[in-house]
Structure 1
Amino acid sequence: MGDKMTPMPFAQLMDWVMGEHKKKKSVFGVYRPYLAAESHNRELFGRTLETPIGPAAGPHTQLAQNIAAAYYAGSRFFELKTVQILDGDDLPVEKPCIRAEDECYNCEWSTELYVPQAQEEYIKAWFILSFMAKEYGLGRMDGFQFNMSVGYDLEGIKSPKINSFIDCMMEAGETETFQSCRQYLLNHVEEFRHVTKEDIEAISSRICNSVTLSTLHGCPPQEIERIAVYLIEEKGLNTFIKCNPTLLGYEFARNTLDEMGYDYVSFGEFHFLDDLQYEDAVPMLQRLMALAKERGSEFGVKLTNTFPVDVKNGELPSQEMYMSGRSLFPLSMALAARLSKEFNGALRISFSGGGDYHNIQKITDAGIWPVTVATTLLKPGGYQRLLQMAEQTRETSVSFQGVDVTKVSKLAKDSVTDSHYTKALKLLPERKMKKPVPLLDCYTAPCQEACPIHQDITTYLKLSGQGNYEEAMEVIAEKNPLPFITGSICAHNCMNMCTRNHYESPVNIRGAKLLCAEKGFEGYWKTIKKGGLTGKKTAIIGGGPAGLSAAYFLTKSGMPATIFEKSGSLGGVVKNVIPDFRISGHVIDKDIELCLSYGAEVRLNTEITDLSALKNQGFDSIILAAGASEPGVLNLKTGETINALHFLSEYRKKDKNVDIGKKVAVIGGGNTAMDTARAAVRTQGVEGVSLIYRRTKRYMPADEEELLLAMQDGVKFMELLSPAELVHGQLICSVMKLAAADESGRRAVIETTETVSIPADTVIAAVGEGIPKEFYLKNGIELTGRGRVLVNEETLETSVSGVYAIGDGLFGPGTVVEAIRDARMTAEAILGKKAARDFDNLPADPDKLYDKRGILKETLDDQEENTRCLGCKSICENCAEVCPNRANLALMVPGLTKHQILHVDYLCNECGNCRSFCPYDSAPYIDKFTLFANEADLNHSKNQGFTVIDRKTGAFLLKYMGSLYTGKKGEAVDAVPEGLLKIVETVINDYDYLLR
């Protein structure tokens, strides 16, 4: 069906609700219901409201099942998706239309259904919620409210189509949909445990007594007021007017977003000039408040509409898009503060501008409610996030006594610097695994996949959480012989990929590893049993992390290894260069001890220049782990620079007593540059350190935490500067400017004619190191055209038989964990067998994992990080959670160990949201096994999937690998994997409510 949703009949929806709840105690994929309590009930528009929260007019209030899922999780106020005269196929919506990785963008604004269809969906939802309230003990059957949202001009609102919609939502009793839903419940009342005939007959036909007016940007104030007057006077509706952040003015919005790190968000002044002006809004609102009071209804403002911004980097297939979420919160709250002060708290405010777990209690405590949300529900956890929010509102007053001006003003002021709303210093890291999502068994742990050594992270986190540190160390040390070093300074790709990044912050995997090392090392050390070393001998040149790791894997597997280190100590750059404020020599020694625990021989102060000499000494294999020993050089037109590693080595060797003058300039933007700058700050005699980079902080390769630490240490960041020459203690730099971003999001820089001078007694260049090319060439080792070692990608063997290259000396400076990866690859090539086993034998409790889904939880201490781990390897379901329409489902399939994801074609409008959060480089709505409503839809789509031809016989038509197959449930089909056939059979047997 392409991007067209097909609403489900009421009977099918009821079958789904009752069938799923009976089997799993869940409704539309929401596992934990909110149970309302009378003591927390509020009153709004003369009706009961059990919680003051719900979904905003958007993707979560378009279909009946969306509204039902939101209710089950805790919503009680539903702002129905906006209807307007332009609807259905006449409404152009570019797809995909949602992008919510961080702040959210969308390019759709109204219901994609025809208005009569939308009306039917809302009436069906009204009955389903009434039913669930009593049947499942969720609250009162009249404890929730529906709020219409209409637009966009008076002529359209008065049109027969929209006028009929408004009238029918106000009184639905005579509509065919209301009567048929009511009759269905009456016909099936014997199947219900708690809902009675009297309950069904008591369901009110007066669905809506309130409306939110949503006007287009640029709508004249006179038109807005005319519509509001019409809704209040002619329709007698309690009315909210949705206001735009443009009321704040261009300068305020631009400066606020720039200050918060959203300087890349592009928008012009024209909306601010065309939209309603603040000085016009205030008297208009005063008049409407008076009119509503005179008519005995309530009036207020809805803050705010989404914020229109330009599409600059192909974020969505449109020219303009609408921003929402955490970036909108400070603007919405600033407008709330301004209006509440203007009206001394008397103006009622409905809020929808970035509400979520972090702020819901403060918003409602300030007297601002109802609060509707969308962006937070579009992230992993989905509708389930509402439960936590609903529970938090129990801590605030249930009666409306006006808006607290002081509390709102504080919220607005604090939000500009609150980390929950400010943009991170760096661009978001790539969170996609570079492989397609499989049709079957797609659940995986992104953290483990991202780790170069595929550390069994979820296993040792679980053991750590249980206090079993010695066992956790056994798991860690199986693949990682440097737990203290990686627990202290690892680049932690695992944490970048952690699903909790989409909640609040990643599980502190690195910190948990260090905790396990600190608490479990001694006990684990005693269990190590050194065996005899026999077989071929291996020489390892270099005693840094790569060489030590190679020695560990070889000797642990029983093969002798000898490390040749030209200096007087082991540990390489980590021991001799990285500053002690990053990692102490004491913990490095523990890792060295572990690497040598199985009997590797060490020869210090021994430089190897001739590999043939080693072979003559009886070494069968040679591993080159010499590091990137060629110093990087930055050539200035005038003046000299110091190499960063040379400086750091001297800094550590001389205990900070390095003569580099009072003013120091560091060139570079990587982690080494941050180490250098922070060390320079601590060097005796230094009074100021500047860090020079040709782009901005956002495009620096350094980890964000390293940037923050450097800033905390007082390093002065000098952005958009390119060093040219050092003259008489002044570093002359060319001023650069950012150009447009490329496809990767990285912006090029353009040199200007402007220059600046920076005081500098010493310039230190942290511009990367090179591999020892001369050494390689002298020993007959081939290099590539790019000057790298030519190696077998699977074994890392060089062009010289029996000689391998690993670590920084292979491709240039890398990470410690990458050095461990290289070491194990080479060790296994030499051993001819695996050097480490997988620990994947700790069973997960699905119920406990589901209990964590949708629950935001701030970082605890490292000992409790396991409580935040979502166990993605056992339960992922991101694509199911973030789909507003429930078009991606997790099925329990007999005979398969993991739940399986099924995409339901007829429920999908191709919004694209699941693409953002699938850990694979895929879009589930395109790439997962798909259920089609009929044969025509299957033929129309490129998705692999099936349609059921005959429910009674179980006959189906299935598309796989470009071919069509027919079959019957329970029977094999040649060339089709058994797992896919099991999914088909399971849908027919256990999920027949999905079939059309």
Structure 2
Amino acid sequence: MGKTTGFLEYQRIDPKKRPPKERIKDWNEIRLPQDPETLKTQGARCMDCGVPFCHGGVILNGAASGCPVHNLIPEWNGLVYKGQWKEAYRRLIRTTPFPEFTSRVCPAPCEGACTEGYIMDPVTINSIEYEIIEKAFAEGWVKPNQAKETGKRVAVVGSGPAGLSAAYYLNAVGHDVTVYERDDRAGGLMMYGIPNMKLEKRFIERRLESMKASGIKFVFNTEIGRDIKAQELVDQYDAVVLCAGATKPRGLNVEGKDLKGVYYAVDFLKATTKSLLDSSLKDGKYISAKGKNVIIIGGGDTGTDCVATSIRHGCASVFQFEIMPEPPAKRIEQSNPWPEWPKKLKVDYGQEEAISLYGKDPRNYLLSTKKIVGNERGEVKEVHTVNVTWEKDALGRFVPQEVPGSEKVWKADLVLLAMGFLGPEDAIPEELQLERDPRSNVNAEYEVFETSVEKVFAAGDMRRGQSLVVWAFQEGKLAAREVDKYLMGKSLIK
């Protein structure tokens, strides 16, 4: 704890963002750094709460409460208040491998569980983490791992957050690690699923350089199960860690779903980022929203990213459809008590930009898509919707019921499906005959991570289904610990 009365003396101050009408002209990061004095006072707001629920990392009512990697948050908040930045960095990396990513893309369940948030605004944990790791890179405190070699070889399949985390920790204890990635760049959905303005790819490349200097090898443009058989890795390596994600996108089973101009959101976002990195969008190898009326079916972070990306393309209009009701403006204590994740309305960066341009929030709630209609060339031209209410059925489950007379036709030139993912792709699990759970994920017990095939482990979304990036980092770390135990009989990874 930094200052005993800090939480009474200082108000929460969030980092500023570049103005919407300025930032939509480029693809650069939108957050602005905070000055040291502001950070000092924000660190001082962390109170001596006795039981720091921000550490939690538990599931309450279906959502994360507290930090899944169990960051020592009050400790580094207090150190920032005292100006002891290097020690704050040391405390930060004791629990998390890549704070530069979580501080940019994690929704901060730690702040949702902050004890101070029960009675006032929570501590700005996310922005303090951001400033600590950026200062660490600027000061040269981030060094490559150096460990005595064990002679054990481990293959990691997938270079998303779980794969990078597993590789980082396995390398840190001396194993020879090779990461296989089917794309041309590492990072998984952090590279190609999250737009540049939310996570500039230079920050991923910065971390990869450190990992390569540590001795981790990356093999790109190589799909396991197609270019190399999964069994070959099992035969050649002492252990294999599967971190290939849950990359089957959820579709929409309505008339017109196969029309030209209907795409999965992940394909839209990936194509834009790849073209941006390859040629600053000059090669034209992306799905352009320029001059188009864009409909995004689905909410969440992916829907927001599609809004912001469409605006930067120069779309004519953009709307989001969500079948769920609009969240309340504030937490409802009776049904969503602290320290559960607060289920309340959030206006994210994409919605801010749409409001700035068009004067209103692009989100439309309690809408169900009935069909998509095309023109004579098979190109999408309309989306037909109906309003719904949520009513209990005979089994007591809430189900959507259509509202008679609420049908509406929306003009559309581009429809993006942002409805999440169904599970991992089948090639590797089928080839290795891995057990699957009822949701098709690879079956491997949490904190054990070994699959039904000896020396094959699974972590991240491939094991748990679509989840937060911070859960993937924690699963990669814990899976590395279990691999280390398997290879060496014990592990120093905590």
Same fold (TM over 0.5): yes
CA contact (8 A) 1:674 1:702 kept: no
Corresponding residue of 2:307: 677
Shift of 1:526: 5.8
Shift of 1:802: 0.9
CA gap 1:693/1:487 in 2 versus in 1, 3 angstroms: same
Out of 83, 89, 96, which is 1:473 matched to?
Answer: 89
Q: Does 1:653 align with 2:274?
A: yes
CA gap 1:835/1:479 in 2 versus in 1, 3 angstroms: farther
Bigger Rg over Cα: 1
> Structure 2: how far apart are the matches of 1:702 and 1:592?
34
Out of 372, 389, 398, which is 1:726 matched to?
Answer: 372
1:501 match: secondary structure:
helix
Q: Which amino acid aligns with 2:373?
A: V
Q: Does 1:687 align with 2:316?
A: yes
CA gap 1:526/1:546 in 2 versus in 1, 3 angstroms: closer
Out of 666, 690, 708, which is 2:296 matched to?
Answer: 666
Shift of 1:622: 0.4
Q: Which amino acid aligns with 2:365?
A: E
Q: Does 1:546 align with 2:151?
A: no
Q: Which structure 2 residues correspond to residues 290-689 of structure 1 after superposition, within 5 A?
A: 443-449=50-56, 450-523=66-139, 525=141, 528=144, 530-609=146-225, 610-617=229-236, 619-640=237-258, 641-655=262-276, 658-660=287-289, 662-684=292-314, 686-689=315-318
CA gap 1:594/1:751 in 2 versus in 1, 3 angstroms: farther
Give me the identity figure in percent.
27
> Structure 2: how far apart are the matches of 1:733 and 1:526?
52
Corresponding residue of 1:753: 404
CA contact (8 A) 1:478 1:836 kept: no
CA gap 1:665/1:702 in 2 versus in 1, 3 angstroms: farther
Corresponding residue of 1:763: 415
CA gap 1:630/1:506 in 2 versus in 1, 3 angstroms: same
Q: Which amino acid aligns with 1:588?
A: I
2:218 match: secondary structure:
strand
1:698 match: secondary structure:
coil
Shift of 1:485: 0.7
CA contact (8 A) 2:328 2:345 kept: no
1:694 match: secondary structure:
coil
- Greater relative contact order (Cα 8 A, min sep 6): structure 1 or 2? 2
Q: Which amino acid aligns with 2:475?
A: D
- 675-684 or 491-500: which moved more? 675-684
Deviations 1:165-215 (A, max 9, x none): xxxxxxxxxxxxxxxxxxxxxxxxxxxxxxxxxxxxxxxxxxxxxxxxxxx
CA gap 1:776/1:825 in 2 versus in 1, 3 angstroms: same
> Structure 2: how far apart are the matches of 1:642 and 1:670?
17
Shift of 1:628: 1.7
Q: Which amino acid aligns with 1:716?
A: P
Corresponding residue of 1:709: 349
CA gap 1:668/1:527 in 2 versus in 1, 3 angstroms: closer
Q: Which amino acid aligns with 2:364?
A: M
> Structure 1: how far apart are the matches of 2:209 and 2:84?
22
> Structure 2: how far apart are the matches of 1:703 and 1:584?
28
> Structure 1: how far apart are the matches of 2:145 and 2:247?
35
CA gap 1:549/1:703 in 2 versus in 1, 3 angstroms: farther
Q: Which amino acid aligns with 2:436?
A: L
CA gap 1:706/1:532 in 2 versus in 1, 3 angstroms: farther
2:383 match: secondary structure:
strand
1:753 match: secondary structure:
coil
Shift of 1:561: 1.3
CA contact (8 A) 2:265 2:302 kept: yes
> Structure 1: how far apart are the matches of 2:199 and 2:401?
38
CA contact (8 A) 2:328 2:343 kept: no
> Structure 1: how far apart are the matches of 2:388 and 2:302?
23
Shift of 1:524: 5.3
Gaps of 5+ in 1: 1-30, 33-380, 389-441, 838-996
Shift of 1:632: 2.3
> Structure 2: how far apart are the matches of 1:602 and 1:678?
31
> Structure 2: how far apart are the matches of 1:528 and 1:469?
19
CA gap 1:708/1:824 in 2 versus in 1, 3 angstroms: closer
> Structure 1: how far apart are the matches of 2:199 and 2:365?
28
Deviations 1:764-814 (A, max 9, x none): 000112311343122110112332221122211111111111112223221
Aligned length: 398
Q: Which amino acid aligns with 1:446?
A: F
CA gap 1:722/1:806 in 2 versus in 1, 3 angstroms: same
1:507 match: secondary structure:
coil
Q: Which amino acid aligns with 1:753?
A: P
1:707 match: secondary structure:
coil
Shift of 1:488: 0.8
CA contact (8 A) 1:554 1:835 kept: no
Shift of 1:834: 4.6
1:736 match: secondary structure:
strand
> Structure 2: how far apart are the matches of 1:695 and 1:615?
44
TM-score, with normalisation over the residues of structure 2? 0.74
Deviations 1:524-543 (A, max 9, x none): 54655523322321100111
Shift of 1:631: 2.6
What's the RMSD between the two structures over aligned residues?
Answer: 3.0
> Structure 2: how far apart are the matches of 1:705 and 1:593?
39
Q: Which amino acid aligns with 2:431?
A: K
CA contact (8 A) 2:234 2:455 kept: no
> Structure 1: how far apart are the matches of 2:272 and 2:144?
36
Shift of 1:820: 1.0
CA gap 1:569/1:703 in 2 versus in 1, 3 angstroms: farther
CA contact (8 A) 1:484 1:590 kept: no
Q: Which amino acid aligns with 2:319?
A: S
